[in-house]
Amino acid sequence: MSRPFYVTTPIYYVNDVPHLGTAYTTIVADALRRYHGLRGRETFMLTGTDEHGLKLEREAVSRGLSPKAFVDDMSARFRAAWPKMSVEADHFIRTTDPEHERLVQEVWKRVEQNGDLYLGSYEDWYCVGCESFKTEKELLAGNECPLHPGRGAEKVREETYFFKLASYADRLLNYYDAHPSFIEPESRRNEVISFVKGGLHDLSVSRASFSWGIPVPGNDKHVMYVWFDALANYWTALGGFGSDAERKYWAPNAEVVHLVGKDILRFHTVYWPAFLMSAGMPLPSKVFAHGFLTIDGQKMSKSLRNAVDPVRLAETPELAGADGLRYQLLRAVAFGQDGDFDHAAMVERYNADLGKNLGNLLSRTLGLCSKLTAGKAPAFDPGALPADIDRAFLRDRLELAGQVPQYWESLAPHLALEHTLRLASRANKYVDEAAPWAAAKAGNQPAIDAALGLLLEALKTLSELLWPAMPTKANELRKQLGLGPLSATVGADAWTMHNTRIDPLPGGHALAPSGALFPTIDKEREAELLSRLMPASTAPAALAPAAGGIPGHPSAIADSVAPAISYDDFAKVELKVGVVKTAEKVPKKDKLLKLTVDVGEPEPRTVIAGLALTFAPDALVGQRVIVVANLAPRDFGKGLVSHGMLLATGPSEKLVLATAPDSAEPGARLK
C-alpha cells in the first residue's frame, strides 16, 4: 500500500472572511484527500487560521477589540464555512492554540541550537499587507508594495533576530536539484531556483515593536516573525516530535503536499525548507502553487471577493449546492494557472456537463430499465457481448476510466473531471447506438440486457470517479442505482479495477430512480439566478441593480426587488447611529469624502463615502447618520481604508442621507 497522504492548505489570515480564492485551495485539498482515501490510503487534511502579526493586531485595534477577541470571532467563521462546502478537514489549526505556540518554540530552540540565529538590528521596508520585509528593489516608486498598492511599505528600524538564510542557498539549490518534483508546476520551480541563485539575505525572524505573536524563547522583548510561526503549523498540527501522527504523516513516512497560492511560494519553498533543514527535520514532498482567480473577468479586490460569497454559492440548490460549487472550481480552472470564475459560464457548465450529460445519462438509463427490465439490473455476460458496438463501448469505458487517476495523482483535477465527463458523453452516445427501445421492438432481449447492464456499470463507475469532487451527488447517484454511499476505507482501493475489468451490478439488483439528479436551468431561471448571485459590479447592465446608494458599493441600495432574506440574515447587519465629526475631500477623487464618524467607540472611525457630488464637507459635520458598522474594511488605495458605510438614496448628485433624530445616541444599534 502507498505511503499515507498528508495535504495542507495555507492557514488563512483572519483579517478577511473565507472567499472564493481561499475556498478554491481548500476544496482542491479536500478533493485530493477524498481521492487518495478512496484509493485506500491513509489520509490527513489540515487547514486553519493564521492569527498573529501586525496586520491582525492593527485590524483588531481598528475595530476596538482585543486581538484575541477579534481572532476568536474571525477564526470561527472559517471553521464554520468549510463543512458547508463538504470539506472535512481532519484538523483545524489556529496559531493561537497553546500547543502550537509551545511546539513552535521547540522548533525555534532547535534552530538556535544549530547556531542559525543571531541578534542584530534591522533597517528596511516592511509591507504589513504581505507581512514581509521588502528590499528597495522589490518596491515601486513611493515605496509601494506591488501586491498592496496604496498602502505604502513602512520603514522598520529595530533590534531583531536574524536567521542565517544566506548560508542555505547552496543546500536549497542542491535539494531542488535532487528532488525535481518538490516545487510544481515547473515554471514556479524555475522561478524559485532563479530567485535563490540571485543570492539570499539573512532573514529577520523576530519583531520587538509589537507584542501580538509567539514570544521568542529566552527573550520576551521579541515575538517571532509571523511567517516563522505560521509555516511551522504544518508540522505542529501533527503533535510534535515523535507523536503518533507525526510519525505517520510527516515526511519521509508520508507523502506531504502543501497547496499554496503563487503569491506565497517563496515562503514555502525557500524559508520553510531552510527552517526545517536548520532544525534537522525532514522536508515535505511537494509544494504546489496554484494561480489566481478572477471573478467574471475582474481582479478579486477585497470588496469584490466579499461580494461573491462561496458559502452562498454552496447554499444555492439550483446549482447543486456545495457539490456544484466544488465542481465549478475544480473543473473551470486549470490547477496551477490563473483562471476566471465566471457566473454565466458556471450556469452553462452546470447545464451542459451535469444536467444534459451526466444527469441525462442517469435518467435515460433508469427510464429504460424501468420499461424494459422491470426496474432491475439485467443479467449479462461481459465476456460474450452480442454486438460490435457493445464491445467498442466496453473498450472505451475501460480506457476512459483508466485515464482518470493519473490526473488526480498529478494534481490536475480539471483534467480528471474532464475525462470523467467524457465517459458520460461516451455512454450517452452508446445509448443512441444501442437503441434498446429498437431492440425491444425486435424482441432482442440479449441486446437490451447487454446495453443496460453496461450502462448501469458505467454509471456506477462514474459515481466513484466523481466522488472526490462531488461526494453528495455521487452518493445520490448511487442511491438511484440501489447502491450504498461511498466512503474511504483504508486498504481498500475502490478504483483498482477501473482500467482492467468491469464490475456490473448483479442481475436482478433493484434500482431506485428518484427524479433528475441535476435539473437543468432554463433561460428565465438563469437570469433570475444570475441577478441573485452576481455582484452588481460584475453583472451585465441588464442584471445590475438600478443605480443608487453610495457609488462604488456593490451592496448599495437598489430599486429592484431583492429576494427575501431571513431574519437571521438581516440580524447579521450591524446598523448603528453615528455622528460625523470631520469631513474632507479626497484629493483626485471627485466623488469621495473622507469622514470620521463617532459610533460610540473609543475613537471615531474613518469612513470613505461617495457623497462629494451632493454634499460640501462642512454640511455633513454634526449630522447623525446611519452606519453599516460591521462591513469588512474596504481599501480605496493610497492608505484610505473605509471602516463602514453610510446609508443614502438617490443618484450621486442628489443623494439623500439616511439620518437619525438627535435623541439617538452615537453607537445605538438599529434593529
Could you list the residues that contact ligand MSP (CB under 6 A)?
10-13, 16, 21-22, 24-25, 50, 230-231, 233, 260-261, 263-264, 292-293, 300
Please enumerate in sequence order all residues whose Cβ is within 8 A of that of 293, keeping only pairs 6 or more positions apart, or say none. 20, 21, 24, 300, 333, 338, 339, 340, 341
Q: Which is nearer to ligand MSP, 279 or 300 (CB)?
A: 300
Q: Which is nearer to ligand MSP, 100 or 643 (CB)?
A: 100
Residue 263: CB minimum distance to ligand MSP, A: 5
Report the residue count for the chain: 671
The total of other beta-carbon atoms located within 10 Å of residue 99's CB is: 12
Residue 241: CB minimum distance to ligand MSP, A: 20
Residue 287: CB minimum distance to ligand MSP, A: 11
The residue nearest ligand MSP at its CB is 261
Residue 466: CB minimum distance to ligand MSP, A: 24
Residue 667: CB minimum distance to ligand MSP, A: 30
Q: Which is nearer to ligand MSP, 22 or 614 (CB)?
A: 22
Q: Which is nearer to ligand MSP, 266 or 460 (CB)?
A: 266
Q: Which is nearer to ligand MSP, 327 or 495 (CB)?
A: 327
Q: Which is nearer to ligand MSP, 117 or 231 (CB)?
A: 231
Q: Radius of gyration of the chain from Cα atoms?
A: 28
Task: Calculate the alpha carbon distances from 557 to 179, 551, 649 in Å.
Answer: 55, 10, 7
Q: How far is CA 201 from the centre of its chain?
A: 32
The one-letter code for the residue type at 337 is Q
Spatial CA neighbour of 451 closest among 436, 429, 432: 436
For residues 161 and 118, the answer to whether their CB atoms sit within 8 Å is: yes
3-state secondary structure (DSSP) of residue 292: coil
Please enumerate in sequence order all residues whose Cβ is within 8 A of that of 484, keeping only pairs 6 or more positions apart, or say none. 478
Residue 5: CB minimum distance to ligand MSP, A: 19
Spatial CA neighbour of 487 closest among 503, 472, 497, 508: 472
Residue 48 to residue 87: CA distance in whole angstroms: 12
Residue 206: CB minimum distance to ligand MSP, A: 17
Query: Counting Cβ atoms within 10 Å, is residue 663 exposed (0-12), middle (13-18) or buried (19+)?
Result: exposed
Residue 179: CB minimum distance to ligand MSP, A: 20
Q: Which is nearer to ligand MSP, 94 or 478 (CB)?
A: 94
Where is 56: in which H helix or E strand? helix 54-62
Longest Cα–Cα distance in the chain: 90
Residue 645 to residue 665: CA distance in whole angstroms: 18
Q: Which is nearer to ligand MSP, 39 or 266 (CB)?
A: 266
Q: Which is nearer to ligand MSP, 5 or 234 (CB)?
A: 234
**Cell triple for 504:** 456490473
Residue 50: CB minimum distance to ligand MSP, A: 3
The total of other beta-carbon atoms located within 10 Å of residue 310's CB is: 27
Which residue is listed with cell 452546470? 350
Please provide residue 157's backbone torsions phi and psi, each rounded to the nearest 5 degrees. -135, 105
Q: Which is nearer to ligand MSP, 130 or 454 (CB)?
A: 130
DSSP characters for 519-535? ----HHHHHHHHHHHS-
Q: Which is nearer to ligand MSP, 71 or 293 (CB)?
A: 293
Residue 20: CB minimum distance to ligand MSP, A: 7
Please enumerate in sequence order all residues whose Cβ is within 8 A of that of 524, keeping only pairs 6 or more positions apart, or say none. none
Residue 129: CB minimum distance to ligand MSP, A: 9
